[in-house]
Every structure is written in C-alpha cells, then in structure tokens.
Amino acid sequence: MVSFGKIQIGKFKLTAPAVAASIIGEEVASMKSKIPEAIGDGADIIELRLDGLSKMGGWEKMLQVNLPVIVTNRPRREGGKFSGKEADRLKTLAYAIEREAPCVDIELSTKNPQLKKLIRQAKEKDVSVILSYHNLKKTPAVDFLINVAKRARDEGCDIVKIVTFAKGPKDALRVLDFLVRAREEIDVPLIAFAMGEAGRFSRIVAPMLGSPIVYASVDEATAPGQLKVSFAKMLLTELRGP
C-alpha cells in the first residue's frame, strides 16, 4: 500500500502521493482548455507552467478552479521556456502570491535578496512555496543532493523539489537512494525523481519512498520521461490497494 499521510498546498490538504497535471501552452485560452481534461483524468493538483506563454495577460483566471494550483515560471537555465528578464519572471511569481495562488514553485538558483523577498511575501499570504533544483545534464552524488535539499529547506520553503537527469538506470537509482537517505535529514516534504527515459520508472517508485507529488502531462510533456495524468493516477491507485 502506498500512503504517506497528507501534504499541504496552500489551504488545501491532500492525501499523498498526489498527481499534479503540468499544463503548458503559448496562449492562456489553450492552457485553460486543458484544465477540465486534467481534472477528468484524475489530477489532484494543477501546475500552471506560465513560462510557455507568449503573452501573460489574463493567466490569473486559471486560478479559479476547485483544486490546488502550483504557479511555475521556469527559466531556460532549469529546463523551462522563459527567456525574458529575470525581474519580469519574478514579477509574475510575486503577482501569483498577491493573488493568493495556493502555491508557487521558485528555483533555488534565484538570487537573493529576491528569493528571500518572495518567500517572505508567500508566508504573509499563506501561499506554499516549493523550492526547486533541476539538473538537466546529470545526477550528482547523493551527498551533493542532500546538501542542496538542506539549502532549500534552510531558506524556509514548505516543500523541496530535486530533479535530475538520468543517463542510465544507475542515475535513477541514485535519485531514489538520495530520497531514502534525505528523508532522515530533511524535515519538510521532499519531491525527487529523475528526468529522461532512463529515469521514467523513478517517477512512480519515488512516491513509494515518500515523494508526495507525481508530475504528469495532459498532452504536451513538460519534461522528458513524464507520464500521462490518467496513467499516473491509475498506477498510484493500484499501488495504494483497496
């Protein structure tokens, strides 16, 4: 049976592991049209990948759903599509906090004092903060990843997210080893898995080891090796058992 209690996303308390539908698109209308499909496929969370938008105007309308929403504006340096000015990228996240989005995902690579300011603003609004680290080239040593997770925790986030790239099965296994070891040292929820086809199985095994959120796609994958929402939901349902 797979059950790890609850995870808090803003004012929402969910049974973990939960499936987050990661939605991306060039237009707000196209992104918004995918939300009902994601809900129909069994998504527990909606992740809005705003970095794919050609124009930001009106995106906040997508917050009006009865599910927790994670707002992400991922820069190219961490695998996203946002290529504009860093100040503009962070301004969008600050606006999401102002609009009391349930959760924002901020990259640990964001420079201070901007990072600390966003986290402080989020706490004032009861908005959850995921601090994320993405390595697009490799899977570093377990000790290195544990230190990264500790840095994220020490910044005051609610959830830590560590994602690496798996060149082969050993890399994916290293992420899972990290997840097991880190749980003894990190006292906040820890999401961890490996991208790429070689890391695909880690996306399902990780929840069995305590990773509370599985990111999945509705149609267009937002990361290599990503599962479909309906498939991820079916697997987790089977793994949880009756």
Per-residue pLDDT at 117 = 98
Neighbours of 64 (CB within 10 A): 9
Helical H segments across the chain, by residue range: 28-40, 86-98, 114-124, 142-154, 169-182, 202-208, 229-240
Catalytic residues: 134, 161
Per-residue pLDDT at 86 = 97
Neighbours of 65 (CB within 10 A): 16
Provide the 8-state DSSP code for 75: B
What phi, psi does 167 have (nearest 5°)?
-85, -25
Q: Per-residue confidence of the chain (242 residues) as pLDDT tens digits? A: 344 589 999 999 999 999 999 999 999 999 999 999 999 999 999 999 999 999 999 999 999 999 999 999 999 999 999 999 999 999 999 999 999 999 999 999 999 999 999 999 999 999 999 999 999 999 999 999 999 999 999 999 999 999 999 999 999 999 999 999 998 899 999 999 999 999 999 999 999 999 999 999 998 777 777 899 999 999 888 877 66
Query: What number does CATH give the domain 6-240?
Result: 3.20.20.70
How far apart (Å, rounded) are the C-alpha atoms in residues 104 and 35? 18
Residues 43, 65: contact at Cβ < 8 Å? no
Task: For residue 154, give both structure tokens.
Answer: 């020490």
How far apart (Å, rounded) are the C-alpha atoms in residues 80 and 67? 23
Domain ranges within the chain, ordered by starting residue: 6-240
Q: Kindly tell me the burial class for residue 136, based on how many C-beta atoms sit within 10 Å of its own C-beta (0-12, 13-18, 19 or more).
A: middle
Per-residue pLDDT at 4 = 58
